Amino acid sequence: MQGDVDVATVAALMGEPARATVLLALTSGRAMAATTLATEAGVAPSTLSGHLGRLVDGGLITVETSGRHRYYRLASPEIAEALEALARVAPTRPVRSLRQATHAEAIRRARSCYDHLAGRLGVELCDALVSGGLLQVDGSDNGRDDPVLGAGRAKRFVLTSSGRETLTRLDVPLDPPTRRPLIRYCVDWSEQRPHLSGWLGAALLARFLDLGWVSRAERRVVRVNPAGRSALPDQLGVDLGWLPD
Amino acid sequence: MQGDVDVATVAALMGEPARATVLLALTSGRAMAATTLATEAGVAPSTLSGHLGRLVDGGLITVETSGRHRYYRLASPEIAEALEALARVAPTRPVRSLRQATHAEAIRRARSCYDHLAGRLGVELCDALVSGGLLQVDGSDNGRDDPVLGAGRAKRFVLTSSGRETLTRLDVPLDPPTRRPLIRYCVDWSEQRPHLSGWLGAALLARFLDLGWVSRAERRVVRVNPAGRSALPDQLGVDLGWLPD
DNA sequence: CCGACGCTTCGGCCTGCGCCGAAACGTGGT
DNA sequence: ACCACGTTTCGGCGCAGGCCGAAGCGTCGG
C-alpha cells in the first residue's frame, strides 16, 4: 500500500505532542536552541534530543551548530504550510488549564508569523490599512479554489499614493533591496482571513518593534505596548479595544 | 504546551500507515465500505474497524449506514487539503516492490481527484485545452504567495467561444445547473501544476467515462482506453505518447 | 587548565497501541 | 426460519517508542 508518497511517516513525526509543539514553535521562522525547545515542550533535554534527531532524519527540520549551541529551524516553508493545514482541521480542544487558556488567547490575539504580524492584530492591521485608504483591494476572481477564502476569493493589495506617504512619514522602508515582493499576504490560521506578508509585512513588524509599539513575548506571542495602544489607532486606524491586559 | 490547536492528535491519526492509506484512498471523494478499505490497507477487518472508529472519533471521516454496509467518507475537503499538504513535504520513498512501483507510476499518470481528472493526464489536458485555444489564461498576479505555484503565480482560465463550440460538439454540458463555478483549478500534488476542476472539470471526466475514452481502475487510478488514445490527441490535442500499457 | 554549560548517547522502565482470531450482532436473501 | 455476510467487540500478544537519569563529549569563560 501507499507506494505513492509516504504521508504516514511525516504525519507520525508531527503526531507526537512534544514534537508537534516544537514544530509549531519553529513556525515563527526563527531558529531555536535545543534547550529552549525542551522547556517549550515540557520534556527532559535528553528526551527532546531524541525527538530532534528523528525530525532531522525525517527532513522536517535542519540543524546548524554554533559554538556550543545547536540551532534548529524548519527545513522548508512547505512544512509550515502542512502544519497550518493540519491546524485548520484540528478541533479546538477543550482548554485544560488557565495558563493554556491565556496563552491560547494571547497567540490568537497577536503573534509573529515568520517575520510579520499575524493573529487578530495581523488581520485587523491589514483591514485598517485598507479602510484607512493606505492599501487598495483588487478583488478580482482568479479562478482558483481557495480552501480558506472560498471559491475565487483571491485578493490583491496595492499601495496607494497616500499610503506610501503615510508610511514614509512613519519611516517604514518601502523599497525592497532584494527581489522580495513588496506586498503579499498569507491566510491566517486562527482568523481564517488574510494578513500582510511580503517586504511590507516584515517592514511593518520591524518598525513597530523599533518604535516600541509592540514587543515579542514568549513563544510567538506579540504584546501590544501602551505606546502602540495609543499610536496604532491614531496613525493607522486600528481599533485595539478588543485587546485587554 | 500546545494549548492552541491540537495538531498532534490529528497528525497522529494520519500518522499510522493503515489509516493514512485509508484516508488517501478516500481523497478521491467517494465513500467506501469498511471491507473495501480493509483490503486496501492490507489489514484484518477487525483491525481496520478499530482504525475507522478512531478516525470517526477524531472527526476526520464520517459514516453512513446503508443496509449491512457502512460507508466511510472524508469529513471535509479541508482534510484532503491537509493530506495533500503532507504529501507535498513527504519524501518520495525508495520503492519496495514492483507492484507498488507500477501503482505509484499509474497514479501519477492519471487519477481522479474528487470528480475530475488529475495526475499527468489532468495537467496535460488542462495545458492542451489552453494550447488548443479552447481555454485562455489570464495570468494576472493576484498578490498571494502560493506555496506550489510560487509567488503571485495565480492563474485564471476562461472559456473561449471556439472552446465552447468544440466542447458542445463533444456533448460536454457547459451550463452548471447549480451555483458551482464553471471553471476552477486545483494544484496537482504529483505534478505541482494546475489541473481543471469546477463544473467543467467534472463534466469532462464524466463525458470521457461515458465515451469510454477512460475508465476507473483500482484506487483512484484512471486508465486511458484505446478509444481515448486516438480520440484525445485528435479532438483535444493531448499527446498521449507518454502513456505506456 | 579547569569547571560550567549545552547537548547527545545509553540503559532501563513502562505504557500505548497495532495486530490477529474468535465470537457476537444485525441485515438481507432465500 | 435459516444461513451468509458485513461489521464490530473482546481478549491477548508483542513491539515500538516515549520517558527519565546518568554519563560522555565538546565548547566557552575565567
B12 contacts A2? CB cut-off 8 A: no
- pLDDT for A52 equals 94
Supply the DSSP symbol for A112. E
Spatial separation of the C-alpha atoms in residues B52 and B60, rounded to whole Å: 10
Mean pLDDT of B159-182: 81
User: What are the C-alpha distances in Å from A69 to residues A10, A23, A61, A217, B204?
Assistant: 26, 18, 16, 22, 57
Lowest mean pLDDT of B7-16, B162-171, B233-242, name the range: B233-242
Residue A75: count of CB within 10 angstroms of its CB: 17
Can you give the distance from the CA of residue A157 to the C1' of nucleotide D8 in angstroms?
54
- Do B238 and B124 form a contact (C-beta atoms < 8 A)? yes
Q: What is the dihedral of CA B161, B163, B166, B171, to 10 degrees?
A: -100
- pLDDT band of residue B12 (cuts 50, 70, 90) is very high
Predicted confidence band of residue B51 (pLDDT cuts 50, 70, 90): very high
Residue B171 makes CB contacts below 8 A (sequence gap 6+) with: B207
Question: What is the pLDDT at residue B4?
Answer: 43
Residue B19 pLDDT: 94
A172 near A204, Cβ under 8 Å?
Answer: yes
Distance CA B192, CA B100 (A): 22
Q: How far apart are the first and last CA of chain A?
A: 53
Predicted pLDDT at B104: 52
* Per-residue pLDDT tens digits of chain A, which is 245 residues long: 333 458 999 999 999 999 999 999 888 777 888 988 888 888 889 999 999 999 998 989 988 887 888 889 888 878 888 898 898 887 644 444 444 445 556 666 777 776 778 877 888 888 888 878 888 876 555 444 443 344 344 557 888 888 898 888 888 888 876 666 788 776 665 555 678 877 888 889 888 888 888 877 755 677 787 777 777 777 777 665 444 44
C-alpha distances in Å from residue A225, one per residue of A110, A222, A244, B157:
12, 10, 11, 47
Per the CB < 8 A criterion, the answer to whether B23 and B79 are in contact is: yes
Q: Is A189 helix (H, G, I), strand (E, B) or coil?
A: coil
pLDDT at B147: 37
pLDDT at B140 over 90: no
Q: Best-predicted range by mean pLDDT among A57-71, B100-114, B225-239? A: A57-71
Domains of chain A: 7-90 (1.10.10.10), 109-236 (no CATH)
| Residue B50 pLDDT | 93
Range from A14-18, A225-229, B74-78, B128-132 carrying the lowest mean pLDDT: A225-229
The answer for residues whose C-beta is within 8 angstroms of residue B187's C-beta and 6 or more apart is B146, B148, B149, B193, B194
Rounded to the nearest angstrom, the minimum Cα separation between A60 and chain B is 8
Cβ <8 Å between B3 and A96: yes
Cα-Cα end-to-end distance for chain B: 53
Residue that is written with C-alpha cell 464520517 in the block: B62
Distance D29 C1' – A33 CA (angstroms): 20
Q: How far does B134 lie from chain A, in Å, by closest CA? A: 16
Contact between B84 and B114 under an 8 Å Cβ cutoff? The reply is no
Chain C bases closer than 7 angstroms to a protein Cβ? 5-11, 17-23, 26-28
